Amino acid sequence: MKRIVSIVLVAFLSLAVLLVFDSCSTSKMTTIRKGDAIVTANAPDYKRIKKEINTKESEFYYPELLRRFEAADTTLSLEQIRHFYYGMATRSEYAPYKMAKIDALREAFEKDTPSKEDWEKAALEIDKELETNPTNIRFHLYKRIIYSNLYGLDSERTTDAHNQVVMLLSAVTSTGDGRSKETAFHVISVADEYGIMDIFGLSPKMQSLVHGDHGQSYDVMEMEKNEYGLESMYFNITVSMDAMNKMFGF
């Protein structure tokens, strides 16, 4: 099963390197070129995002962004994808620490040769989870793996699932390069941290929670030896920590 997962992840590695290590510098405010557009790598402005995704006349109106993302609409701009991903953290259904029920998925991944029925059960399970958590990067990556085994690597469904992962990864990598607190990847859940590390083929050996200026919180992942020579990856998890503190009345 590890071989199946590894084959699928290879498709993302060159993209990940391009989006992060070649496109972003170590400065907090970094301009990167995506196609013909110049975008600025910076922290999401949640207050502005919340206002725009709730404005029906806005190009960032959340129900429309959700519809287009679920259709794997690759004409969505980077700013629209950023509003879609980070906008989830401003919505009432945002639950970054909710436990997912993915027993069928685990069973399929644990088998040496999963059957078609195994993959079908896993697909139903992951699709259900994505109905309530449509921005979960790791689940979209799992969906891509499942669909590639059910329908083939070149199928339309697999291609759509691949493009959804690419879009979400683009949103996160537009915020920094993950090499320091100042240029940490901004994520809205711990699951997304692991999804990103999965895409890069990285394995963490230690996780530390650290705090920075202005109430910022970070997960620092110390990495096992890897092809990038990357010792640590930084994730800004302030928005999910704030949600947890609010939940417990802190």
Query: By C-alpha distance, which of 191, 171, 206, 194 is closest to 240?
Result: 191
Rounded to a whole number of angstroms, the distance between the first and last alpha carbons of the chain is 42
What integer pLDDT is reported at residue 28 of this predicted model? 35
- 170 lies in which domain range? 2-198
Tally of domains in the chain: 1
Residue 56 in any domain: the answer is yes
Q: Please tell me the predicted confidence (pLDDT) of residue 180.
A: 92
Q: Say if 232 falls within a structural domain.
A: no
pLDDT, tens only, 191-211: 999 999 998 889 999 999 999
Residue 69: inside a domain, yes or no?
yes
Residue 208: inside a domain: no
pTM here?
0.86
Residue 219 lies in a domain: no
pLDDT digits (tens, 9 = 90+) for 69-96: 999 999 999 999 999 999 999 999 999 9
List of the chain residues with pLDDT < 70: 1-41, 249-250
Compute the Cα dihedral for 15, 19, 25, 27 and give only its sign. negative
User: Could you tell me if residue 20 is inside a domain?
Assistant: yes
Is 212 inside a domain boundary? no
Task: Let me know if residue 121 belongs to a domain.
Answer: yes
